[in-house]
Amino acid sequence: MNATDPLQQAQAYAQQRAAASGSSFYYAFLFLPPARRAAITAFYAFCREIDDVVDEVSDPGVAQTKLGWWRQQVLRAFGDGAPPEHPALVALRPHIAPYGLTAEPLLQIIDGCEMDLQQSRYLDYPGLQRYCHLVAGVVGEVAARIFGQTEAQTTAYAHRLGLAFQLTNIIRDVGEDALRGRIYLPIQELQRFDVKAHELLKRGIGAEPSFPQRFAALMAFQIERALATYDEAIALLPSADRRAQKPGLMMANIYRTLLREIAREPALVLTQRVGLTPLRKFWLAWKVQALGRF
């Protein structure tokens, strides 16, 4: 291939998109064989693009139009007519047949992100789970296929693991989401711990003196549930697919470590993005790859 080859350019774009995000997912991808790494990197770049439409476009009408454009791009990627224009889907297209990918999960991911344009609160946990299914469970399903799924039961594992990842993101991003006027923590659970929506939206600024204690109790509950969800997911993974699904287990190791960091000082999520260093993420991923340890 020469430097002007469209596919090569698209692959370089997807690689840059994944690396620049600094995501825990990127570190797990590093241990994959080249073809699978290229496929999951392109898919991850697509997911980042869709997520950014909602997070970075302030006008809901414009965001809706952009998501409509993305739906057409997905259909073109999986069709026999004109190819997609966006490099993320150009990079993904060669991997559709080898890994048995279909358009429906990608369209569901767009549907999930579209929910953010229409809804900024969730009454209860089942309602939140439906959202998580679209924006994370489906992502896990596609990733499991690319990683090398051979057992049907692995799909249930992938969906549960996706839920655990999304619960972790919600916990980590309480403050960032508040700046966008969003609260993903279920209203019923806020009421249970006597945490007011306006206290979260103001990120605890000016709240009553009892707020830190109430917020810490709420977060302890959220973290415990997320950690339990990782355990539930891993218990669903068939032993026959455990080796192939190591990237997901690497990500689980990184994310569970992040949750334990947040648990030490939960109030930090209101004002900053709590994270792990790149070196620590790589080490946690390597431990799973080389030692099988969490």
pLDDT tens sequence across 11-60: 999 998 888 766 777 888 888 999 999 999 999 999 999 999 988 888 89
Q: Which residue would you say has higher pLDDT here, 28 or 252?
A: 252
Give the Cα separation of 55 and 58 in Å (integer).
8
The region that residue 188 occupies, defined by phi over 0 for left and psi between -120 and 50 for alpha, beta otherwise, is alpha
User: What pLDDT band is residue 1 in, cutting at 50, 70 and 90?
Assistant: very low
Average pLDDT, the chain: 93
pLDDT value of residue 23: 74
Q: Which of the residue ranges 25-39, 64-78, 190-204 would you say has the lowest mean pLDDT?
A: 25-39
Rounded (5°) CA angle 107-132-155? 75
3-state secondary structure the chain: CCCCCHHHHHHHHHHHHHHHHCCHHHHHHCCCCHHHHHHHHHHHHHHHHHHHHHHHCCCHHHHHHHHHHHHHHHHHHCCCCCCCCCHHHHHHHHHCCCCCCCHHHHHHHHHHHHHHHHCCCCCCHHHHHHHHHHHHHHHHHHHHHHHCCCCCHHHHHHHHHHHHHHHHHHHHCHHHHHHCCCCCCCHHHHHHCCCCHHHHHCCCCCCCCCHHHHHHHHHHHHHHHHHHHHHHHHHHCCHHHCCCCHHHHHHHHHHHHHHHHHHHCHHHHHCCCCCCCHHHHHHHHHHHHHHCCC
pLDDT reading at 75 higher than 80: yes
Per-residue pLDDT at 129 exceeds 60? yes
Pick from 76-80, 217-221, 288-292: least confident: 288-292
* Encoded tokens for 164: 């655990």
Show the domains of the chain with their CATH numbers.
7-118 (1.10.600.10), 120-293 (1.10.600.10)
**What average pLDDT does this structure show over 116-145?**
95
Global pTM value = 0.92
Q: Is the pLDDT of residue 4 over 70?
A: no
Q: What average pLDDT does range 275-292 have in this prediction?
A: 86
Residue 293: predicted pLDDT: 62
Per-residue pLDDT at 56: 85
Question: 64 Cβ partners below 8 Å, 6+ apart?
Answer: 114, 117
- The answer on pLDDT for 3 being more than 70 is no
The model's confidence at residue 233, banded by pLDDT at 50, 70 and 90, is very high
